[in-house]
Amino acid sequence: MKFLILLHVLSAIIGVGPTFFAHVLVRKKQTAEHLRHSLKMSALLENFPKIGGSLAVITGLVLYFVGEYGAFTQVWLLGSLILYVLIQIIVIGFVTPQSNKLQEWLDAPENKDVAGELPEEAQELLNRMNSYFYFASALGITLFIFMILKP
């Protein structure tokens, strides 16, 4: 049981953790050259939530069914699951499309050599991504609070 709890906690940290680093990668006012590098690093970090986050949900459900945690409808328990799903929706449904549009802009033949400031359209996409990551991070902090302060 202790190993399962350890696996759950570590996978949750690894799964949600990259969301907190995303602000560094998609910071506002970066050059096109830096953004190219940031999006490459961001793509690498996407593997952690996919694997760690999925493992956290699976181990959390196993812990619930083999342990004595009370009703599934408790705020900390159901709330944690809902928060995790919301984080995934924000990242997959809102951040990823913005990231893809930025990558398309960067990969366009006419923009291949652009290294300086981003044009307004690309900067708006980047700003939106950054805002979504702040929201996902706030939900992630709330998720960890639920997990730590559970009854």
116 secondary structure, DSSP code: S
- pLDDT, one tens digit per residue, over 93-106 is 999 899 999 999 99
User: Domain segments of the chain: what residues?
Assistant: 2-148
- pLDDT for 69-95, tens place per residue? 888 888 888 898 899 889 988 988 999
Residues in the chain: 151
Give this prediction's pTM: 0.85
Distance CA(22)–CA(132), nearest Å, equals 10
Q: Report the candidate in 61, 60, 56 with the shortest Cα–Cα distance to residue 17.
A: 56
**Radius of gyration (Cα) for the chain, nearest Å?**
18
Mutual angle of helices 120-148 and 32-45, in 10-degree steps: 30
In the chain, which residues have pLDDT < 70? none
